[in-house]
Amino acid sequence: MYGSSVLTAVGLRSEGSNYVMSNGGGVMSSTTHLLDFLEEPIPGVGTYDDFHTIDWVREKCKDRERHRKINAKKKESAWEFTKSLYDAWSGWLVVTLTGLASGALAGLIDIAADWLNDIKEGVCLNAMWFNHEQCCWGSNETTFAERDKCPQWKSWAGLILGQEEGPGSYIMNYFMYIYWALSFAFLAVLLVKVFAPYACGSGIPEIKTILSGFIIRGYLGKWTLLIKTVTLVLAVASGLSLGKEGPLVHVACCCGNIFSYLFPKYSKNEAKKREVLSAASAAGVSVAFGAPIGGVLFSLEEVSYYFPLKTLWRSFFAALVAAFVLRSINPFGNSRLVLFYVEYHTPWYLFELIPFILLGVFGGLWGAFFIKANIAWCRRRKSTRFGKYPILEVIFVAAITAVVAFPNPYTRQNTSELIKELFTDCGPLESSQLCQYRSQMNGSKAFVDASPNKPAGPGVYAAIWQLCLALIFKIIMTIFTFGLKVPAGLFIPSMAIGAIAGRIVGIAVEQLAYYHHDWLVFREWCEVGTDCITPGLYAMVGAAACLGGVTRMTVSLVVIVFELTGGLEYIVPLMAAVMTSKWVGDAFGREGIYESHIRLNGYPFLDAKEEFTHTTLAREVMRPRRSDPPLAVLTQDDLTVEELQGIINETSYNGFPVIVSKESQRLVGFALRRDITIAIENARRKQEGILLTSRVYFTQHAPTLPADSPRPLKLRSILDMSPFTVTDHTPMEIVVDIFRKLGLRQCLVTHNGRLLGIITKKDILRHMAQMANQDPDNIMFN
């Protein structure tokens, strides 16, 4: 039906000669175009429906237009000049506000979660609102072993039964622990379910999708912010195997979104708003880990889609502001910005790269396994009746977690504290069970060389067993926890698993070096009595490897962990482990957990990292396919309002190509369904004489009509006269590249100048799913 050669009709002639004129006189045509632009600005045209993709190109043009208007006006008066200044500064203002709010909220959440977490075990007698540590600050007990036992702090057994020791009080504490854990979990899921369903999960998959140009109304709204903040504290305190770091990114993005409403530059432009959100996500990671540079790189590498250099600079600023606010709040009481601040005193040796790479392999395997298992479980939850009872599920998981976690000290304690303990090197002042080595030297030497390698004592062996159990427990519970209807981050559980594995490997290598110091590798580097293995470093490397395996982050992960230690010294082990873990993980499937969840939810997300490697051409992907009805097109000047409405009602496409005539099939432009509907409604309400039989025209001048015909309707102002086109021979890899880099929603396909079909983002995603032998109907939105 396309491409049959006939005489091209009236439309072509009139319009062709019109063109020669305007080509001749560039000035004239530019003014008419401008007039078109100012003519009838129909309210609602240029906005988007919920769960639709934005048109980046159009948004950026809108912003430049706005900018030009302000620039043109600014010389008119002092007031206009002030307004232009305000406009120029609003970018910095909004990121400053976002940084301030994110930092403050993060501090608040840290303090509240700490306090609520300690409530599970006991209460501070003289000041309810103190957590365990703060409660014991004023205490006279100064020995380090006893520092967290002080008379002011009463365990629940001590408070209720009046005794701190004995099986009865253990059971009492156990019971109270489970009671509080269940209460917190119940409250959290209830609040989420009733007030803000979007507050659940980590939010990063959705934020990635939103940043790539998708609209999810309310996902970053004030209710989500409020409920997420509150329930995050509850979820963390409930002892579930989850962290607060991922959700902090969501919280920061909510702040960014809310503040962007103060500035029309950002609130009225979806593309500009996403710049603020990129900066906000950098601020979120910055406060989550106390790593501003890592946060910026996280935003760049992991979440952002459109990241111009101006945004880089503002993200950096937002991340810094947030970090400084958090440091002034000082939630950890050590005036450190960093969650797990560690200092190691010994260098690493080349042979240690082997265990580090093994940890990388472990991290990659864990990541791949976790992604597969968690996605399988989440799919089950989505597809069976099972997902209908989110509250019961949360309570059930929380109950199991609490019951199993309490007896083991390493699972009972706060996960971040566990990670901190595992990262920390054994110094002479360290009282942890993990540091109970058998000392073989006299006192004086122990002070000179604080922590030489020593044979492990019974404490260490006990700790290793408990750590092994904790590892298994964490692995199982994390799979079932991520995806529950509570705010749940993955960073901390993943890091905990890696840190446990790493510490175990570290102690093993350490003992190997001690007992077999005559082996070649150890003889070269480790002298007896000197410190050559740092188990804490292994824990850190393991944590990075596991986090890398799950999220497939690379540079940002290394930089975040680098900012924790602050020394370039340990970057090489980290890189080795993270690289290995990424490669091992990628061998089982290239998607990280966030991309997998995006795909599970069917969001239209075109990943910039994934390469399109097939040889298909545009014509094989475009619609209409062979068996489809012909493409729904509009002709530029011979439809009536009724016919146009008919076409719109019969089809469900989001937009229609406008062509010169059915015969020539030459493309004029593209009109969006939403815009056409709004424009027709508006015209019928406001313009007189527009009837169902009125002719609709997209051309510059009205077509010549019989004298008795009703007033025609001009729709040129909603016509996109510069639609993107590719030829049918264009390889899909180029088309995908264009979609990604320009942020298109759709692209028209032509052959030798004639319109053939259309490719939308959804078509591409479906095609890619088909090529990867996945279900193409999984992509749900446009």
Q: Tell me the C-alpha distance between 321 and 319, whole Å.
A: 6
- Bridge pairing between strands 695-697 and 639-640: antiparallel
Q: Supply the minimum distance, in Å, between the C-beta of residue 288 and its own copies.
A: 15
Residues 696-735 that bind its own copies (CB under 8 A): 721-723, 725-731, 733-734
Nearest to 746 by CA among 699, 693, 782: 782
Q: Supply the minimum distance, in Å, between the C-beta of residue 699 and its own copies.
A: 10
- Residue closer to its own copies by CB (options 539, 659) is 659
* Residue 608 interacts with its own copies (CB under 8 A): yes or no: yes
Q: Supply the minimum distance, in Å, between the C-beta of residue 111 and its own copies.
A: 21
* Residue 635 interacts with its own copies (CB under 8 A): yes or no: no
Contact assessment for residue 229 and residue 105, using Cβ atoms and an 8 Å cutoff = yes
* Residue 301 interacts with its own copies (CB under 8 A): yes or no: yes
Which H or E run includes 310?
Answer: helix 309-329
DSSP state of 388: G
Length of the chain: 782
Residues 743-782 that bind its own copies (CB under 8 A): 750-756
Q: 666 — phi, psi (to 5°)?
A: -90, 135
* Residue 312 interacts with its own copies (CB under 8 A): yes or no: yes
- Residue closer to its own copies by CB (options 333, 566) is 566
Residue from the set 28, 35, 44, 61 that interacts with its own copies by CB under 8 A: 61
Instruction: Centre a 10 Å sphere on the Cβ of residue 349 and count the other Cβ atoms it contains.
Output: 15
Contact assessment for residue 295 and residue 289, using Cβ atoms and an 8 Å cutoff = yes
Q: Supply the minimum distance, in Å, between the C-beta of residue 8 and its own copies.
A: 6
Q: Supply the minimum distance, in Å, between the C-beta of residue 500 and its own copies.
A: 27
Q: Supply the minimum distance, in Å, between the C-beta of residue 19 and its own copies.
A: 5
Nearest to 434 by CA among 448, 532, 333, 417: 417
Q: Tell me the C-alpha distance between 569 and 576, whole Å.
A: 13
Q: Which stretch binds its own copies (CB under 8 A): 238-246, 406-414, 494-502, 608-616?
A: 608-616
Nearest to 547 by CA among 502, 607, 481: 502
* Residue 22 interacts with its own copies (CB under 8 A): yes or no: yes
Contact assessment for residue 199 and residue 224, using Cβ atoms and an 8 Å cutoff = yes
Instruction: Centre a 10 Å sphere on the Cβ of residue 9 and count the other Cβ atoms it contains.
Output: 15
* Residue 664 interacts with its own copies (CB under 8 A): yes or no: yes
* Residue 617 interacts with its own copies (CB under 8 A): yes or no: yes
- Residue closer to its own copies by CB (options 413, 727) is 727
Q: Which stretch binds its own copies (CB under 8 A): 118-126, 359-367, 530-538, 606-614?
A: 606-614
Nearest to 498 by CA among 536, 552, 542, 554: 542
* Residue 449 interacts with its own copies (CB under 8 A): yes or no: no
* Residue 8 interacts with its own copies (CB under 8 A): yes or no: yes
Q: Which stretch binds its own copies (CB under 8 A): 107-115, 308-316, 436-444, 526-534?
A: 308-316
Residues 24-43 that bind its own copies (CB under 8 A): 24, 26, 29-30, 33-34
Q: Supply the minimum distance, in Å, between the C-beta of residue 124 and its own copies.
A: 32
β partners of residue 617 = 731
User: What are the DSSP calls for 160-214, one per residue?
Assistant: HTS-SSSHHHHHHHHHHHHHHHHHHHHHHHHHHHHH-GGGSB--HHHHHHHHTTB
Residues 87-116 that bind its own copies (CB under 8 A): none
Residue from the set 113, 252, 288, 667 that interacts with its own copies by CB under 8 A: 667
Q: Supply the minimum distance, in Å, between the C-beta of residue 62 and its own copies.
A: 11
Residue from the set 23, 143, 383, 444 that interacts with its own copies by CB under 8 A: 23
* Residue 613 interacts with its own copies (CB under 8 A): yes or no: yes
- Residue closer to its own copies by CB (options 430, 733) is 733
The number of residues that bind its own copies (CB under 8 A) is: 95
DSSP state of 694: P
Residues 541-580 that bind its own copies (CB under 8 A): 554-555, 558-559, 562, 566, 568, 571-572, 575
Q: Tell me the C-alpha distance between 1 and 756, whole Å.
A: 10
Q: Give Cα separations from 578 to 245, 394, 505, 559 (angstroms).
A: 19, 32, 16, 11
Q: Supply the minimum distance, in Å, between the C-beta of residue 739 and its own copies.
A: 11
* Residue 337 interacts with its own copies (CB under 8 A): yes or no: yes
* Residue 442 interacts with its own copies (CB under 8 A): yes or no: no
* Residue 317 interacts with its own copies (CB under 8 A): yes or no: yes
Q: Give Cα separations from 350 to 347, 357, 526, 565 (angstroms).
A: 10, 12, 12, 19
Contact assessment for residue 239 and residue 120, using Cβ atoms and an 8 Å cutoff = yes
Residue from the set 244, 619, 714, 745 that interacts with its own copies by CB under 8 A: 619
* Residue 662 interacts with its own copies (CB under 8 A): yes or no: no
